[in-house]
Structure formats: structure tokens, C-alpha cells
Amino acid sequence: MTDLVIKQNKAPAYLAIDKEGVEYSRDAKLVSELPTPEDRLQFLSAIKPKIEKLIGLSCEKLSFGIPLYESFKMSKKDARKHPANGLLFTQGCELKLSLSCI
């Protein structure tokens, strides 16, 4: 599944809920919308080099449920000062699948 998202830029189908509470199908947009935990971890692993390049630092791994600044062992104070602070305060599960296209 991750290869499909990254190499072919094709997100899997995701069942979302509209304003009226009715389910509808659309392409997944976030890491958390990938179908399995394995797919989510594979995607985070695959985009790690791109995120590291955007941040300008390296990290051991990107984690699903914490802000990226914690993955990069940064303090909140340092993350706020960083040029990519918006990205650093994003949790791994909230990363957009479109990051694979950068």
C-alpha cells in the first residue's frame, strides 16, 4: 500500500463522514487514514528523508502520535523558533500523504 501512495501518488480509498453523518468514499489524505498500522509506519519511514530535508535535521524515526519536534529531540521553545515550526508541531498521524510528492 505504501508503495502505491509514494511511487504512484495514489491514495487508498477512505470512508469519511459528511456533515449529515453519512459515510462516503474519498481518497485518504492523512497518514492516520491509511488502512493498517503497518501501512502508516511504512509511510512514515519512507518519507523520513524528505521530512529531515525540510527540517534540516535528522532523527531516528518519525512517530505516529507525537509532534515531529519530539522525534527530532527538540524542545518546544526551539521548535517555535525554527523556520519549519508549523511542520514541527504536526503529529506524525496528521502528516499529509501529499508530502510524498515533494
DSSP 53-98: HHHTS--S---SSSBHHHHTT--HHHHHHSTTHHHHTSBGGG-BGG
pLDDT in tens, the chain (102 residues): 555 455 556 788 899 999 999 999 999 999 999 999 999 999 999 999 999 999 999 999 999 999 999 999 999 999 999 999 999 999 999 999 998 876
Can you tell me the distance from the alpha carbon of 90 to that of 65, in angstroms, rounded to the nearest whole number?
Answer: 10
Any idea how long the chain is? 102
Give the per-residue pLDDT at 78.
Answer: 97
Give the per-residue pLDDT at 42.
Answer: 94
Give the per-residue pLDDT at 93.
Answer: 96
